[in-house]
């Protein structure tokens, strides 16, 4: 565990996100830059943070537009900040938002920065659609051709099938296995039942609906003004189904293995658009500017497993490491947030943390911990709220930090699984 | 006298820098002209000098134009003709000099400045946004008189030349390049080097080839017949637009025609004569006065200089995201470049307001006054909220909510709770006394009125209204911010209707009475547009909105009694759900948002028959004198500080004919005795509302005037 110099703890001041919307719906017209700038700008206004205090913008994005490679710099160029604020973007797959916050943490602890805007954005409504390699090569060759004849002959090799556009798949480049297939495999290998998966999904929706109804979730959302006249106000997530039932969920057909499968559209996180930003500061800077921090980042850890094995088991490794670095045990955790990529993945990780055999494999004296659902995902998770890949980390940090304050909890844990077999864990602590 | 020009030798090129001492911009005056001629003679005689580059030493102007002060001293047509002739000779000397002169143009190049550039052998402009070239003389009731009316059509063709001269609008460097007005456009960083290089080449015998403007131009601009069509079209356009009220416009066409058809010698003579004649017209005098008054207002904060300190405004709050609030927000972001936080109770109204504000920018984008990137950046200055988040760091908040005292008071209390005690709060109202709105304010010293006109993006006037409790600092903050928004700002007293609506009120009432008497709508409006108003009173009702007019009419009636009793026309129109343009039902028909003809059925609603024969002069007198009498009365009450502010307010606020100089100039022009006599006649025939204002009666007895008679300003 790193002990920061006095005043150099990295603290979370506040977080804000756009509504999370099913891809292709209410946020379909917004670009990633639009969404990221919208919630970041509003966060500056809500906290009254002067733009000239910002030292850096760190932002995650997984599916990057070829037109805007570095969304963080575009955010930093908001006119609410001086044009001299640098920014960089990163990709730690679904843990990108969390990684941005942890990078900010490191920068702050090191004394390289005092105020960092960190977060992530994803628009799956606006994914780059590519040409086939062959057609792309042809276009490049044609653009270099010096005569009309040469240009035409470059196109001569093109076949109709080359013209079919290529859209990015949510599949492992190393194995070709889709994320859903991995979740299906994990359900089978870990013996996670369809019923348990649906029950988790139901809980996710019910808790997210409650958090929306009582305003705890909507307080973290800046309304989006959609439509041609900008008068279509989107002020809440549109994937949460307050009235869904176990019957409805159990009726859904498995998507990835129609005969023996258990992973359905109902117990998996949907393709989502959204952005989320948090303000990170050094403790001393927060004091100087008069802010009361919500929490501090106490530790974090990343792990990776062989993607050919159980792709989404990374958190089973990352969480014990983060707890060890934080110098605490599972029993110290007042709140836990587990990113719900798939119910089968959540339950597989939960099973691992509670298993003595896993503990042996990890060289631990006993199981990592038993998940207490009354303190876990208390406002639902990605299955209900949605999962704009890189935004999720910042969404969870914001929700957890606010809830830790509300419940006066000392330690909170975040667990996120990510593409490539990676797992991410963070421990947050209350700031006295 | 300190020299206006300095010369450095670069090899065989003399770089002449125009840098008028003690002035922020370069202006051409007689003295400057003499110095330049002298300088040219010297350089021509110097064998070391093969070519000359002329440039400016001022940061963002090349030459702003002629020194207009000199125009006001002209006492006769002959004197004015001579001034023009002297200018022409100077330009000829530049054009004919042994050493070719190359103009290196960065920044504004206007009027005489462009005429000088036109006389150069070669022109290079910087691609900077501040580089604009134009001949605004007609806006002062004049024509370009130093050869410009002759040289411009020869360089860019008659069509483009007439367009530039008749509208007076400047063109960007890019457009100038396309027109052939400049030969090259380069970044400012290499402007001088490029100019020196070109000067050397020209000295070495190179003669720049100017490409034609294509086939159409060769037929239209290049043949006498084609040009005849252009002159006729221009003539028709000018008549339709100015109704004969602006003699400079037809004169400019005549001069261009003479120059192009009869040659430059005759053309220059015609130009000088036209300039001389026009300089002595009242129209030009009035327009020049307005030019000076507007400039003077740019430096006048409404309080003695130095008595107050403006708060710098970086973030503006706007409460109420209706059309008015959104217009203020969009204009503030676009012109002042400040962050704007818009707040309204209902989020979907907020969103719509943000969109309307962004549309102010989008309109500039469409007209290519903004690049896509500037648009994206400035757009992000505008944000909306349903709460007061982001208001704690505003330096100025403008409230533009519904025109109702109770609502405005409540909103003011909310704003005060959300902002620091130093934040200035402006309330946008057209009729409600500011003192009433601010009555319960915790910090009344920072509350004042800011009366914008709709549509805010296009209407140039802002009335700033301090109450008796408003601090000087707050006042100066509002005035200076209004100017940053590109507005002409007048400070007026907190009296019902302030200034502009005060004088508009009896005018519109009178229009109502005339309609009640059966004066046809189109006749009514035509009489006033012929007199020089941009729109007539019926069309104005439709623009303002009959609901708004009704409300304002009541407030004014209540405040001033019978004299300002509204006609019953508005009530009748409102009963028929006519609100004007906004609901497409008013005195006129509207098709797809465009005004089409007058709606005769209005007279059925009124139960009167439209008159067949109308005494147009009587119609005009009733309307004009209603306004003039009220103007005199309001002035005597101290509603406006100076006649200058009053006249500028009327011209910029309601489009009072600029060539008439404003209502008080009009009164002075007629003389109080004549005004009183005519008002008395109207009072007898139309009613006591025309009783001459006491101040006019007094002036009529003493021979008083609003403006001192001796000076022209």
Tens digits of pLDDT across chain A (432 residues): 568 899 999 999 999 999 999 999 999 999 999 999 999 999 999 999 999 999 999 999 999 988 899 999 999 999 999 999 999 999 999 999 999 999 999 999 999 999 999 999 999 887 777 778 778 888 888 788 778 887 788 777 778 777 777 776 667 888 888 899 999 999 999 999 999 999 999 999 999 999 999 999 999 999 999 999 999 999 999 999 999 999 999 999 999 999 999 999 999 999 999 999 999 999 999 999 999 999 999 999 999 999 999 999 999 999 999 999 999 999 999 999 999 999 999 999 999 999 999 999 989 999 999 999 999 999 999 999 999 999 999 999 999 999 999 999 999 999 999 999 999 999 999 997
Which residues in chain A are closer than 8 Å to B389, comparing Cβ atoms? 42, 45-46
B342 in reach of chain A (CB within 8 A): no
B392 in reach of chain A (CB within 8 A): yes
Poorest-pLDDT segment among A5-14, A406-415, B321-330, B582-591: B582-591
Q: Could you give the residue ranges of the DSSP H alpha helices within A132-290?
A: 133-144, 148-156, 179-190, 194-213, 246-251, 283-289
Window 137-166 of A, Cβ < 8 Å to B: none
Which residues in chain A are closer than 8 Å to B384, comparing Cβ atoms? 225
More confidently predicted of A276 and B455: A276
Which residues in chain B are closer than 8 Å to A44, comparing Cβ atoms? 390
The CA–CA distances, whole Å, from A54 to A39, A99, A284, B315, B700 equal 16, 19, 15, 18, 68
A232 in reach of chain B (CB within 8 A): yes
| Cα-Cα-Cα-Cα dihedral sign, residues B502, B507, B508, B512 | positive
| Sequence-distant (≥ 6) Cβ neighbours of residue B102 within 8 angstroms | B51, B52, B53, B54, B120, B121, B122, B123, B124, B195, B196, B198, B199, B202
In tens, the pLDDT along B614-660 reads 999 999 999 999 999 999 999 999 999 999 999 999 999 999 999 99
A67 in reach of chain B (CB within 8 A): no
CB within 8 Å: A79 and B381 = yes
Nearest residue on chain A to B333, alpha-carbon basis: A79
| Sequence-distant (≥ 6) Cβ neighbours of residue B597 within 8 angstroms | B522, B588, B589
DSSP state of A368: S
Structure tokens at B699: 């002036």
pLDDT value, residue B712: 43
CB within 8 Å: B377 and A77 = yes
Neighbours of B219 (CB within 10 A): 12
Cα B314 to the center of its chain, rounded Å: 26
Residues in chain B: 713
Structure tokens at B319: 């409460």
Distance from CA of B438 to the nearest CA of A (A): 27
Nearest residue on chain A to B374, alpha-carbon basis: A79
Check: CB of residue A123 under 8 Å from CB of residue A31: yes
Distance from CA of B424 to the nearest CA of A (A): 18
What percentage of chain B carries pLDDT values higher than 90? 86
CB within 8 Å: B392 and A225 = no
The catalytically annotated residue of B200, B289, B403, B463 is B463
B445 flagged as catalytic: no
Query: Residue A386: phi, psi to the nearest 5?
Result: 105, 165
Q: Is the ipTM of this complex over 0.85?
A: yes
B219 in reach of chain A (CB within 8 A): no
Among A227, A229, A232, A236, which would you mutate to test the B interface (most chain B Cβ atoms within 10 Å of its Cβ)?
A229
In tens, the pLDDT along B55-75 reads 999 999 999 999 998 988 899
Query: Residue B14: phi, psi to the nearest 5?
Result: -95, 120
Alpha-carbon distance of A210 to A403, in angstroms, equals 14
DSSP state of A239: S
Q: Would the pLDDT of B713 be above 50?
A: no
Mean pLDDT within B143-162: 96
Alpha-carbon distance of A25 to A355, in angstroms, equals 41
**Residue B493 three-state SS:** coil
According to DSSP, the β-strands at A115-122 and A272-282 are antiparallel
Banded model confidence at residue B710, pLDDT cuts 50, 70, 90? low
CB within 8 Å: B355 and A223 = no
B355 in reach of chain A (CB within 8 A): yes
Alpha-carbon distance of A216 to A236, in angstroms, equals 11
The CA–CA distances, whole Å, from A105 to A325, A335, A424 equal 14, 21, 15
Check: CB of residue A50 under 8 Å from CB of residue A82: no
Window 43-62 of A, Cβ < 8 Å to B: 44-46, 48, 50
Which residues in chain B are closer than 8 Å to A235, comparing Cβ atoms? 347
First-residue to last-residue Cα distance in chain A: 19
| Residue B52, strand partner residues | B14, B101
Q: How many C-alpha atoms does B130 have within 13 Å on its Cβ side?
A: 12
Residue among A50, A80, A229 minimizing CB distance to B352: A229
Distance from CA of B25 to the nearest CA of A (A): 31
Banded model confidence at residue B554, pLDDT cuts 50, 70, 90? very high
B349 in reach of chain A (CB within 8 A): yes
Which residues in chain A are closer than 8 Å to B393, comparing Cβ atoms? 48, 50
Check: CB of residue B509 under 8 Å from CB of residue B501: no
Please list, residue by residue across B664-685, b when 16 or more beta carbons sit within 10 angstroms of its beta carbon and e when fewer do. bbbbbeeebeebbebbeebbee
| Cα-Cα-Cα-Cα dihedral sign, residues A127, A132, A133, A135 | negative
Neighbours of B263 (CB within 10 A): 11
According to DSSP, the β-strands at A224-226 and A232-234 are antiparallel
Which residues in chain A are closer than 8 Å to B380, comparing Cβ atoms? 37, 41, 78-80
Please list, residue by residue across B184-206, b when 16 or more beta carbons sit within 10 angstroms of its beta carbon and e when fewer do. bbbeeeebbebbbebbbbbbeee
| Cis omega (within 30 of 0) for bond into B455 | yes
According to DSSP, the β-strands at B588-591 and B594-598 are antiparallel
Residue among A45, A79, A226 minimizing CB distance to B341: A45
| Sequence-distant (≥ 6) Cβ neighbours of residue B220 within 8 angstroms | B157, B159, B226, B227, B229, B230
Nearest residue on chain A to B375, alpha-carbon basis: A79
Residues of A labelled as active-site residues: 94, 387, 417
Alpha-carbon distance of B19 to B97, in angstroms, equals 21
CB within 8 Å: B355 and A229 = yes
| Residue A221, strand partner residues | A17
Distance from CA of A48 to the nearest CA of B (A): 6
B323 in reach of chain A (CB within 8 A): no
DSSP state of B336: I
């Amino acid at each position: 565990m790193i002990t920061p110099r006095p005043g150099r703890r990295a603290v979370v001041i506040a977080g804000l996100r756009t509504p999370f919307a099913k891809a292709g719906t209410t946020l379909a017209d917004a670009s990633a830059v639009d969404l990221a700038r919208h919630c970041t700008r509003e966060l500056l206004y809500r906290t009254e943070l002067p733009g000239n205090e910002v030292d850096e913008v760190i932002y995650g994005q997984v599916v990057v537009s070829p037109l805007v490679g570095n969304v963080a710099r575009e955010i930093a160029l908001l006119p609410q900040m001086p044009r001299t604020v640098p920014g960089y973007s990163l990709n730690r797959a679904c843990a990108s938002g969390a990684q941005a916050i942890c990078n900010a943490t490191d920068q702050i602890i090191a004394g390289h920065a005092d105020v960092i805007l960190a977060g992530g954005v994803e628009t799956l409504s606006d994914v780059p659609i590519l040409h086939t390699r062959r057609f792309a090569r042809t276009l490049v060759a044609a653009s270099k051709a010096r005569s009309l004849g040469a240009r035409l002959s470059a196109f001569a090799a093109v076949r109709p099938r080359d013209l079919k556009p290529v859209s990015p798949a949510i599949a492992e480049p190393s194995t070709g296995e889709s994320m859903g297939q991995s979740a299906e495999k994990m359900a089978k290998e870990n013996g996670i039942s369809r019923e348990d998966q649906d029950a988790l999904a139901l809980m996710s929706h019910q808790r997210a609906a409650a958090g929306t109804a009582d305003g705890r979730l909507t307080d973290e959302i800046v309304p989006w003004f959609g439509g041609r006249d900008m008068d279509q106000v989107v002020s809440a997530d549109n994937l949460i189904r307050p009235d869904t039932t176990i019957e409805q969920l159990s009726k859904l057909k498995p998507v990835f293995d129609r005969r023996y499968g258990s992973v359905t559209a109902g117990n998996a996180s949907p393709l989502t658009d959204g952005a989320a930003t948090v303000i990170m500061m050094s403790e001393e800077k927060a004091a100087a500017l008069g802010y009361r921090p919500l929490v501090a980042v106490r530790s974090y850890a990343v792990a990776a497993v062989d993607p050919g094995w159980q792709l989404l088991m990374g958190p089973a490794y990352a969480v014990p490491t983060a707890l060890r670095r934080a110098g605490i045990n599972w029993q110290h955790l007042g709140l836990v947030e587990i990113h719900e990529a798939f119910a089968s993945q959540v339950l597989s990780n939960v099973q691992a943390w509670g298993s003595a055999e896993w503990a042996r494999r990890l060289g631990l004296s006993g199981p990592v911990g038993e998940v207490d659902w009354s303190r876990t995902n208390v406002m639902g998770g990605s299955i209900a709220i949605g999962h704009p890949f890189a935004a999720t980390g910042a969404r969870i940090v914001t929700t957890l930090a606010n809830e830790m304050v509300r419940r006066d909890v000392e330690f909170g844990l975040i667990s996120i699984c990510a593409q490539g077999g990676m797992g991410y864990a963070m421990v947050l602590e209350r700031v006295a | 006298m300190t020299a206006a020009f300095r010369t450095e030798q670069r090899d065989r090129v003399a770089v002449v820098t125009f840098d008028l001492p003690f002035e922020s911009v370069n202006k051409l005056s007689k003295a400057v002209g003499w110095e330049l001629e002298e300088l040219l003679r010297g350089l021509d005689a110097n064998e070391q000098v093969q070519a000359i580059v002329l440039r400016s030493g001022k940061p963002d102007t090349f030459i702003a134009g002629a020194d207009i002060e000199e125009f006001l001293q002209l006492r006769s047509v002959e004197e004015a003709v001579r001034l023009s002739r002297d200018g022409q000779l100077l330009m000829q000397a530049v054009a004919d000099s042994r050493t070719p002169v190359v103009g290196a143009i960065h920044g504004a190049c206007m009027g005489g400045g462009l005429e000088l550039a036109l006389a150069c052998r070669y022109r290079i402009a910087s691609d900077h946004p501040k580089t604009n070239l134009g001949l605004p003389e007609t806006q002062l009731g004049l024509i370009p008189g130093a050869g410009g009316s002759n040289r411009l059509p020869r360089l860019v063709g008659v069509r483009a030349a007439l367009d530039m001269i008749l509208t007076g609008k400047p063109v960007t460097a890019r457009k100038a390049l396309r027109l052939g007005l400049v030969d090259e456009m380069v970044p400012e960083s290499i402007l001088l080097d490029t100019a020196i290089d070109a000067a050397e080449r020209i000295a070495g015998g190179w003669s720049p080839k100017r490409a034609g403007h294509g086939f159409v131009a060769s037929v239209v601009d290049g043949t006498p017949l084609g040009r005849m069509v252009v002159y006729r079209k221009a003539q028709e356009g000018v008549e339709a637009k100015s109704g004969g009220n602006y003699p400079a416009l037809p004169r400019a066409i005549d001069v261009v025609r003479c120059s192009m058809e009869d040659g430059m010698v005759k053309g220059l003579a015609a130009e000088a004569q036209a300039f001389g004649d026009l300089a002595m017209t009242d129209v030009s005098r009035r327009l020049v006065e307005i030019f000076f008054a507007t400039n003077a207002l740019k430096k006048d904060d409404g309080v003695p200089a130095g008595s107050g300190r403006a708060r710098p405004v970086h973030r503006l709050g706007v409460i109420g995201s209706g059309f008015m609030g959104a217009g203020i927000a969009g204009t503030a972001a676009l012109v002042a470049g400040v962050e704007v936080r818009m707040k309204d109770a209902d989020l979907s109204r907020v969103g719509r307001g943000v969109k309307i504000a962004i549309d102010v920018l989008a309109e500039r984008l469409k007209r290519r006054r903004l690049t896509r990137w500037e648009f994206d950046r400035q757009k992000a200055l505008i944000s909306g909220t349903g709460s007061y988040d982001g208001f704690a760091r505003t330096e100025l908040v403008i409230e533009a909510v519904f025109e109702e005292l109770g609502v405005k008071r409540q909103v003011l209390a909310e704003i005060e709770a959300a902002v620091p005690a130093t934040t200035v709060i402006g309330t946008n109202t057209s009729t409600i006394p500011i003192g009433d709105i601010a009555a319960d304010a915790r910090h009344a010293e920072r509350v004042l009125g800011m009366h914008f006109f709709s549509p805010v993006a296009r209407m140039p006037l802002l009335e700033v209204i301090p109450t008796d409790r408003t601090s000087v600092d707050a006042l100066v903050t509002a005035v200076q911010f209004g100017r940053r928004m590109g507005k002409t700002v007048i400070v007026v007293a907190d009296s019902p209707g302030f200034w502009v609506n005060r004088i508009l009120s009896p005018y519109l009432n009178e229009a109502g009475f005339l309609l009640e008497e059966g004066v046809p709508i189109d006749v009514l409006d035509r009489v006033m547009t012929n007199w020089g108003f941009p729109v007539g009173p019926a069309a104005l009702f439709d623009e303002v909105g009959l609901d708004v007019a009704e409300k304002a009419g009541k407030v004014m009636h209540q405040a001033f009694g019978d004299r300002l009793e509204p006609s019953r026309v508005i009530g009748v129109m409102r009963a028929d759900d006519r609100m004007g343009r906004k609901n497409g039902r008013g005195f006129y028909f509207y098709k797809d948002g465009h005004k089409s003809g007058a709606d005769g059925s209005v007279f059925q609603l009124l139960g009167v028959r439209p008159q067949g024969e109308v005494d147009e002069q009587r119609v005009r007198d009733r309307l004009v004198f209603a306004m003039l009498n009220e103007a005199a009365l309001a002035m005597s009450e101290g509603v406006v500080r100076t006649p200058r502010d009053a006249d500028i307010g009327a011209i910029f606020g309601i489009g009072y004919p600029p060539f008439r100089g404003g209502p008080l100039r009009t009164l002075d022009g007629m003389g109080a005795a004549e005004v009183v006599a005519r008002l008395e006649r109207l009072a007898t025939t139309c009613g006591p509302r025309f009783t001459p204002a006491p101040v006019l009666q007094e002036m009529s007895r003493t021979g008083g005037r609003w403006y001192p008679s001796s000076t022209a300003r």
